[in-house]
Amino acid sequence: MKTYFFKLRNLTVLAILISFFSCDGRRDFPDLLETGVNLDKYDIILLVSGQTQEVRATFVPDINPNKEYTWEVENPSVATLVVNPDQSVSLTATGSGETILRITSKDNNSVTATAPLKVISAAPLDITSQAAITVNKENGSGPSGNEGSPKLVDGDINTKYLAGYSAPFWINLEFPQPVVAGYYALTSGNDAPDRDPKNWEIQGSLDGESWETLDTRTDYHFTDRKQTREFYFSNNTAYTHYRFDIKSNNGGGLFQMQEWRLFNLPD
């Protein structure tokens, strides 16, 4: 008889616990709200005249946004926008020139981010294949190796250039005729973030000896592997040589990168 009542008591306790957690004991937690918004993956938003491009913000923490946001173009004569249900925005280039795109939380104007926006007449022209690549630190198997320097400009993000890193460390693109470049893309390596570039300059030269600094990046961090990031710099001078001068990487004894592409920007 004692065994029977002991089992019955245990079953009763179990039923109470199930009822507590499934019904009365259930708690509804408030939605997690973002505390920050970023457009930092856009060094600049390049819009081709007459075309539409979707732009997405990222949020802190990295969640789907639960707040409502206002998007605006500072100079609406340059581009118009349509806010999408997922809080992204579709931008259409209706004019010319440069302006600023801004996103701001409706309930807290300190939660905001901006990105420069520029309208160009045609898509950026990739001029990388017109140049010959030279480096001052080659892969141990030479330029013809599986991870030699030509892999950096072969147009394939599944191949990479890998070499021992120590400053000075530079990569040159030499063109047969002077060309104007104002935009470049870098794709991070497939592994080992400590091999990524952290501080670098893009430089131009007409003789391969005297160099002008065109763009400087400091304390830059790629947030993913095989991640392509695009960078804009203002330049109207045609150079025969462009140099990617890596001042420091993320602390590793090696440098690696999947791709470096250089572009001419139409007016």
Q: Is residue 11 pLDDT above 90, yes or no?
A: no
Fold observed for domain 125-264: Jelly Rolls (2.60.120)
For residue 32, the model assigns a pLDDT of 84
DSSP string covering 92-144, please?
EE-S-EEEEEEEEESS-TTSEEEEEEEEESSPPEE-GGGSEEEESS--TT-TT
Residue 152 is classified by DSSP as G
Indicate where the chain has its CATH 2.60.40.1080 domain(s).
Answer: 36-120
In this structure, the strands spanning 45-48 and 112-120 are parallel
Mean pLDDT for all residues in the chain: 91
Domain with CATH 2.60.120.260 in the chain: 125-264
Instruction: Report the CATH fold assignment for 36-120.
Output: Immunoglobulin-like (2.60.40)
Would you say residue 25 has pLDDT above 90?
A: no
Q: What is the pLDDT of residue 185?
A: 97
- Mean pLDDT, to the nearest integer, of 169-186? 98
Q: H-helix or E-strand containing 215?
A: strand 212-217
Answer whether 158's CB lies under 8 Å from 253's CB.
Answer: no
- Give the residue among 117, 102, 124 at the shortest CA–CA distance from 53: 117
pLDDT digits (tens, 9 = 90+) for 193-241: 999 999 999 999 999 999 999 999 999 999 999 999 999 999 999 999 9
Instruction: Examine the pLDDT at 254 and tell me if it is beyond 70.
Output: yes
pLDDT at 26 over 60: no
Cβ burial of 120 (10 Å; 0-12, 13-18, 19+) is middle
Side chain identity at residue 172, one-letter code: N
Q: Taking the CB of residue 83, how many other CB atoms lie within 10 A of it?
A: 14
Global pTM value = 0.83
